Amino acid sequence: MRRFASFVKKEFIHIFRDRVTMLILFLMPIVMIVLFSYAVTTEVKCIQTAVLDLSGDFATRKIITALENDGYFQITRILHSPNELQTVFNDGKINLAVVFSENFAESLHHGTGASLQLLADGTEANSAAMYVNYAQGVLRGCLFDFNRLDGAAPVINTNVKMLYNPSGKSEYNFVPGVMGLMLLLINAMMTSVSIVREKERGTMEMLLASPLPPFQIILAKLAPYFTVSAAVLAIILLFSRFMLGVPIAGNIFLLLGLCLLYIFVALALGLLISTIVNSQLAAMLVSGMVLMMPTMLLSGLMFPIESMPKILQWLSCIVPARWFIAALKKVMIQGVGFENAITEFAVLGFMAAFYVALSLKKFKIRL
Amino acid sequence: MKVITAHNLTKRFGSFTAVDGISFEVEKGEIFGFLGANGAGKTTAMRMFCGLSRPTSGEATVAGFDVFTQQEQIKRHIGYMSQKFSLYEDLTVKENFTLFGGIYGMKPSQIRENFGLTVGRLGIEKYADTLVGGLPLGWKQKLAFSLSVFHSPEIVFLDEPTGGVDPVARRQFWEMIYDAADKGITVFVTTHYMDEAEYCDRVSIMVDGRVEALDSPRNLKQKFNADDMYGVFLYLARTAKRS
């Protein structure tokens, strides 16, 4: 036991002496959450809008007022001729233009089809789609009012409510995502780099020639990263709960159990990488390309899995973070119980068992 | 007393025979030089004696323990120094010794006492709390050797311990080896420097996985009619089919 304890102590010295890495580890999740939720935001704020009103009647004015009052649109340009449209988009100061046809109110009243054109800057396709969506929402509301005034046939007024995330905050999506990324980073990347460093420096030979059983060497290498990831996990949860107001709706023990399972998968992956490669650089590259990239792109952190091509959807099934993030959303945000996330738990459990078995086998062979 | 015995010890990797039935014995307190060109099978043989690799066939004992079945006991009774002067650079000198003392199951009081003696002998008391990374290469290498005999093993295995070190430091290093041998520690050392081979009590020369010559440097030079060990080595290494 004394042998094991002195080795674990050394591992902690390695980590804590590397102040810069420590600082990065603890600040990174916070910076990532803040950056992701502000920069990669899918919320729409302050749409710069230009209006070309060829009709200028009460209906068009009502729609313009409705847009202004909506809070998302800022009408910065009033245009007078269609020729100006190209210029304002070229200047890049406008996200959206609303064009009303002539005799708008009259056509509307007679039901001959009043026409309105929405022009959006398509260079940012996602945002453009969002702008158009918002504008159409406002237009639908106006149309509903016009119909009521006219006493025409009532149209359906939709009332939308977003469950679990009433204000549509993107933090709700990014907090689980960042947790998935950070736990993988610490446990897979850092563990593999630290084991490979011993190989590279020749200290692994020395340890293997010592009376310390190989299994204990591995266990001691994993222990500090496990501790650090627990601390980082606590920071993320506290930060998102108290600074961002993301609720922890579900059972906290179920949540921690889920994280534990995921940490096991990540540690096993790190161990596996360390048995395959022989240099720290290679360990970094492999964990960066094979683990982090798919986690960023295929886990649902940035792009919804449902809207990916079928083949990428299948591919995403082997990304552990996909299952972790999905389960985390259920357990943390929706607050449902274990029975609703049983698939995710089962997949992660299987992955943990598979990778642990594989990496232990590989480690044995190398001896 | 024999501390290492090998009889027809063989290691195969698939169809490749890295070590081809080597047999010899090493006496207690002896400095045993283990020479051979790159790829001759030195490191593979050494790894088998250290309990790092299982032999394919043959027999061998180290410190009285069998290399097939008692690898754990062997590891408790040997010291090992690899080619890269394996100390942890982000740990202080003292922390390195405390770590390996602990791994070899020494008591804290014993570690303190031995550490005091070690730094005293090297004359580096005031660097005990310095990070190893900042020390000169020659010091690191001496520290690595001190570390490998810190727990007073019966045998110490040194795998090319003087690579990349200047001649003065190498000379000092060999004085440390003599000190260790005087205390009854058997030294098993591989090297590429032929002047170092002259310092050994007995030298074995491996060619293509077999021990082609084994005797004192003096007898070897006589037998192969060479002025120095370099001549002996060249004469034998020329016959190699590998490399």
pLDDT at res. B85? 67
Q: Does the global pTM surpass 0.80?
A: no
Task: Find chain B residues with C-beta within 8 A of A365's C-beta.
Answer: none
**A126 versus B102: which is more confidently predicted?**
B102
**Helix B137-148 × helix B108-122 angle, to 10°:** 140
List chain B residues with CB under 8 Å of A201. Answer: 84, 86, 88-89
In a domain, B229, yes or no: yes
Nearest to B82 among A10, A13, A202 (CB): A202
pLDDT exceeds 70 at position A25: yes
B88 contacts on A by Cβ (under 8 Å): 10, 14, 201, 203
In this predicted structure, what is the pLDDT of residue B127?
92
List residues of A whose CB lies inside 8 A of any B CB. Answer: 2-3, 5-7, 9-10, 13-14, 17-18, 201-203, 205-213, 367
Two structure tokens written together for B226: 């060479």
- Picking from B103, B148, B159 by the largest number of A CB atoms within 10 A of its own CB, the best residue to mutate is B103
- Residue A126 and residue B93: Cα distance in Å, rounded? 58
Quote the number of domains for chain B: 1
Count Cα neighbours of A43 within 13 Å in the Cβ-side half-sphere.
18
**What mean pLDDT is predicted for residues A205-216?**
87
Work out the pLDDT band at A33, boundaries 50, 70, 90.
Answer: confident
- Tens of pLDDT along chain B (243 residues) come to 899 999 999 999 989 999 999 999 999 999 999 998 888 889 899 999 998 888 999 999 999 999 999 988 999 999 999 877 678 999 999 999 999 999 999 999 999 999 999 999 888 889 999 999 888 888 888 899 999 999 999 999 998 888 878 888 888 899 999 999 999 999 999 988 888 899 999 999 999 999 999 999 999 999 998 888 888 888 888 888 775
User: What mean pLDDT is predicted for residues A202-230?
Assistant: 88
Distance CA B47, CA A237 (A): 48
**Residue B34 domain-assigned (yes or no):** yes
In this structure, is residue B170 part of a structural domain?
A: yes
Establish if B100 belongs to a structural domain: yes
Which CA distances in Å does A330 have to A248, A255, A265, B25? 10, 10, 19, 68
Q: Is A151 exposed, middle or buried (0-12, 13-18, 19+ CB in 10 A)?
A: exposed
Name the range with the highest mean pLDDT among A34-43, A253-262, B157-166.
A253-262
Instruction: Quote the minimal CA–CA distance from A278 to chain B in Å.
Output: 15
Is B86–A202 a contact, with Cβ atoms under 8 angstroms apart?
A: yes
Q: Is residue B37 part of a domain?
A: yes
Question: Buried b / exposed e across A29-56, counting CB within 10 Å, b at 16+?
Answer: bbebbbebbeeeeeeeeebbbbbbbebe
Say whether B157 and A209 touch across the interface (CB within 8 A). yes
Decide if B79 contacts B157 (C-beta within 8 A): yes
* Cross-chain CB nearest to B75 (options A6, A18, A210): A210
CB A165 within 8 A of CB A172: yes
A44 confidence band (pLDDT: 50, 70, 90): low
> Does residue B101 form part of some domain?
yes
Instruction: Write out chain B residues lying below 8 Å of A205, CB-based.
Output: 52, 80, 82, 86
Q: Which contacts of A105-108 are long-range, i.e. CB under 8 A and separated by 24 or more positions?
A: A105/A55, A105/A57, A105/A58, A105/A59, A105/A60, A106/A57, A108/A59, A108/A146
Residues of B in contact with A210 (CB under 8 A): 75, 80, 100, 103-104
In a domain, B243, yes or no: no
Residue appearing with tokens 């161990």: A271
Looking at residue B91, its pLDDT comes to: 92
First to last CA, chain A: 23
- The strand order across the sheet containing B78-81 reads B78-81, B155-159, B186-190, B31-36, B202-207, B210-215
Classify residue A1 as exposed, middle or buried by CB count within 10 Å of its CB (0-12, 13-18, 19+). exposed
Q: Report the C-alpha gap between A106 and B135 in whole angstroms.
A: 90
Q: Which two tokens stand for residue A240?
A: 């998102």
Q: Which residues pair with B156 in a beta bridge?
A: B79, B187
Domains of chain A: 7-40+168-366 (no CATH), 47-150 (3.40.1710.10)
B242 in a domain, yes or no?
A: no
Measured CB to CB, residues of chain B less than 8 Å from chain A are 50-53, 72, 75-76, 78, 80-91, 95, 98-105, 157
When pLDDT is cut at 50, 70 and 90, the band that residue A135 belongs to is confident
Query: Strand pairing of B31-36 and B186-190?
Result: parallel
Q: Which residues of A touch B43 (CB under 8 A)?
A: none
- What is the extent of the structural domain holding B121? 2-237
Q: What percent of chain A has pLDDT over 90?
A: 19
- Confidence band for A334, pLDDT divided at 50, 70 and 90: confident
CATH number at residue B187: 3.40.50.300
- The letter for the amino acid at A239 is F
Count of CB atoms within 10 A of residue A222's CB?
22
Q: Which of B72, B86, B90 sits opposite A206 (nearest CB)?
A: B86
Instruction: Evaluate if residue A152 carries a pLDDT over 90.
Output: no
- Split at pLDDT 50, 70, 90, the class of A156 is low
What percentage of chain A carries pLDDT values higher than 70?
A: 93
* Banded pLDDT at A140 (limits 50, 70, 90): confident
Helix (H) or strand (E) holding B8: strand B2-13
Q: Which two tokens stand for residue A241?
A: 């709960």
- Tell if the CB–CB gap between B90 and A13 is shorter than 8 Å: yes
Buried b (16+ CB within 10 A) or exposed e, B96-130: bbbbbbbbbbbeeeebeebbeebbeebebeebeee
* pLDDT of the residue at A137: 84
Q: Give dist(CA A236, CA A298) in Å, integer.
A: 22
